[in-house]
Amino acid sequence: MKKLFVIVLLICEVYGWTAFWRGRKYGGNIVDPEKIANRNFISLRDITSDNWLTQKLDHFDFLNTKTWKQRYYVSAQYYKPNGPIFLMIGGEGEAISAWMKKGAWITYAQRFGSLCFMVEHRFYGKSHPTNDISTTSLSFLSSEQALADLAYFVTAMNSQYNLTADDKWIAFGGSYAGSLAAWLRKKFSHLIYGAVASSSPLLAKVEYPDYLKIVQDELANYDGCDCVNEVQIAINKIDSIMKVQNGPQSMSKHFKFCGTFSGTFSNLDISTIYESIANIFAGVVQNNFGVTVHDVCGIMCNMSIIPATLRLVEANSIVMKAYGQNCFQYNYNQMIDYLKVSSWSSDSSEGSRQWLYQTCSEFGFYQTSSNSSSIFGDRISIQYFMQLCIDVFGSNFNFNSLTNAVNRTNVMYGGLYPETTNVIYVQGSMDPWHALGLTQTNSIQPQPTIYIDGTSHCADVYPPSKKDPPELTAARVKIVKFLSKLLN
């Protein structure tokens, strides 16, 4: 492929006067389709190397002329003349170059002969629009700015690669980037022809208690024992352990608390602990690789380990090990200190601070558990999350501002009624995010959807594997069918 383009270029340089003679093109008027394309992809030797596009800092203020450089990757490895253009949208983290070699979209690219681009989202990875990530700088972080970046990106690449209106762009994305893929098609349908939106939370919501409800339901599906009951027993006991003498001290050792333990818990620490415990199970359900529900429920039901809290300790330790996490967050102030650092060299600039900003200013999505009938207790309240927004970003980021912001997000994008065309929505039944997305075609506004039984967050986005359940394989076949229909 690359060699062919070298040859084409050489010919361009040596064909001399015969380039066009007596109404005939050099090589004939019906030329090799690869020559028609005549696109200079020679520079694309390393498909994982960084490329940069200059973007405006603020797409909504023409007086602001500041610019920055956005990172992207490009690959013509599978490109065939007249093939479509695939755009993998980066989400709330670094755009990892391995996606240029692997992933379901690359298998689709092989199938359709696509030119592939992947764009990193502003404020994540190496795409730094500002010198720091202070609250003031983060005012330029929003889904709307990100969509405008993508619109400019498509326009720039159309010109750089001599693409025409016949070259159809298809957007891909998983999770938040899945929502961006759908919204990009919606808002910029003159630039984007279609989209595959995987595990996309379309509906902004201040409180999202369904998240932990779905986690609980997944634990209930475990058939080795009453896993939910065992988790509940253990979590209830934590409540009393926190109150007895030396209880907190022993918890700090067993759970491997981060930092030095002061010996006491504030109310906000208690909420932090409950959230960290809920995260043990939420992480396992949402990711479902490495450690599975089967593994953690196996531990929660191992009656040779008593009391139940020790099983919880064991579950926590295998999950921490699997995720490479070295300590358990219990201390609210420590967490705030971590999230408050506004330098790009801080650990939280990996994305946790930026994504928190987007939830405090656009989406909410707070995974509350404030009903005592939940196995995760009633300590993970919306007030706790609002305090977090205020303590990290300032008093402007409060319940009222978020309520308005969430309303605004849904007004701008349409929530669960996006009224898109050429977009397919893919969700997994095990994914705790699925309740904010489209899981079935509804009669009010029909949209093509795939609801995969038994898979978790973004399962369809990953490269196909022999271990995939048949439902997942079938979903990818449906996605290919959808794309074939669009691209024919």
Strand order of the β-sheet with 169-174 is 51-56, 67-75, 115-119, 85-89, 169-174, 194-198, 423-428, 449-452
Residue with tokens 């902004």: 204
Amino acid at 93: G
Q: Choose the binding region for ligand NAG from 149-157, 187-195, 297-305, 436-444 (rule: CB under 6 A).
A: 297-305
Paired strand residues for 40: none
Distance between CA atoms of residues 433 and 428, nearest Å: 9
Residue 46 falls in the annotated catalytic set: no
List the one residue from 290, 298, 463, 464 that touches ligand NAG (CB under 6 A): 298
Contact 232, 212 (CB under 8 A): no
CA distances from 245 to 250, 251, 268, 313, 376 (A): 10, 11, 20, 19, 23
Contact 319, 291 (CB under 8 A): yes
Residue 400 touching ligand NAG (CB under 6 A): no
Q: Which residue in 349, 391, 457, 460 is the catalytic one? A: 457
Q: Which is nearer to ligand NAG, 282 or 313 (CB)?
A: 313
Q: Which residue in 75, 431, 456, 460 is the catalytic one? A: 431
Q: Which is nearer to ligand NAG, 82 or 343 (CB)?
A: 82
For the CB of residue 458, give the shortest distance to ligand NAG in the complex, in Å: 28
Residue 134 falls in the annotated catalytic set: no
Q: Which residue in 114, 127, 143, 175 is the catalytic one? A: 175
Q: Choose the binding region for ligand NAG from 38-46, 361-369, 380-388, 436-444 (rule: CB under 6 A).
A: 38-46
Q: Choose the binding region for ligand NAG from 50-58, 112-120, 300-308, 377-385 (rule: CB under 6 A).
A: 300-308
CA distances from 286 to 289, 432, 459 (A): 9, 6, 10
Q: List strand residue ranges (DSSP E) for 175-219, in order.
A: 194-198, 205-207
Q: Which is nearer to ligand NAG, 302 or 334 (CB)?
A: 302
Residue whose C-alpha is closest to residue 476's, from 39, 164, 289, 458: 458
Residue 304 touching ligand NAG (CB under 6 A): yes
Q: Choose the binding region for ligand NAG from 90-98, 126-134, 231-239, 301-309 (rule: CB under 6 A).
A: 301-309
For the CB of residue 12, give the shortest distance to ligand NAG in the complex, in Å: 9
Give the CA radius of gyration of the chain.
25
For the CB of residue 274, give the shortest distance to ligand NAG in the complex, in Å: 16
Q: Which is nearer to ligand NAG, 304 or 395 (CB)?
A: 304
How many residues touch ligand NAG under the rule CB under 6 A: the total is 12
Element (H, E) at 475: helix 470-487
Q: Which is nearer to ligand NAG, 61 or 378 (CB)?
A: 378
Q: Choose the binding region for ligand NAG from 27-35, 229-237, 252-260, 299-307 (rule: CB under 6 A).
A: 299-307
For the CB of residue 13, give the shortest distance to ligand NAG in the complex, in Å: 12
Residue 305 touching ligand NAG (CB under 6 A): yes
**Contact positions with ligand NAG (CB under 6 A) in 370-389:** 371, 373
341 CB neighbour count, 10 Å cutoff = 16
Q: Choose the binding region for ligand NAG from 138-146, 230-238, 240-248, 296-304 (rule: CB under 6 A).
A: 296-304
Residue 414 touching ligand NAG (CB under 6 A): no
Residue 345 falls in the annotated catalytic set: no
CA distances from 22 to 15, 18, 36 (A): 15, 9, 19
Distance of CA 74 to the CA centre of its chain: 20
Residue 333 touching ligand NAG (CB under 6 A): no
Verify cis geometry, omega within 30 degrees of 0, for the bond prior to 469.
no
Element (H, E) at 471: helix 470-487
Q: Which is nearer to ligand NAG, 44 or 184 (CB)?
A: 44
For the CB of residue 292, give the shortest distance to ligand NAG in the complex, in Å: 14
**Contact positions with ligand NAG (CB under 6 A) in 354-373:** 371, 373
CB neighbour list of residue 131: distance below 8 Å, 6 or more residues apart: 137, 344
List the one residue from 407, 442, 445, 484 that touches ligand NAG (CB under 6 A): 407
Q: Which is nearer to ligand NAG, 132 or 210 (CB)?
A: 210
Handedness of CA 317, 320, 324, 328 (dihedral sign): negative
Q: Which is nearer to ligand NAG, 68 or 117 (CB)?
A: 117
Residue 162 touching ligand NAG (CB under 6 A): yes
List the one residue from 11, 34, 40, 322 that touches ligand NAG (CB under 6 A): 40
DSSP secondary-structure letter at 350?
Answer: G
Q: In degrees to the nearest 10, what's the CA dihedral of 8, 10, 13, 14?
A: -110
Tell me how many helices (H) and strands (E) the chain has: 16, 12
Q: Which is nearer to ligand NAG, 39 or 185 (CB)?
A: 39
Catalytic site residues? 175, 431, 457
**Interface with ligand NAG by CB under 6 A: which residues?**
38-40, 161-162, 298, 302, 304-305, 371, 373, 407
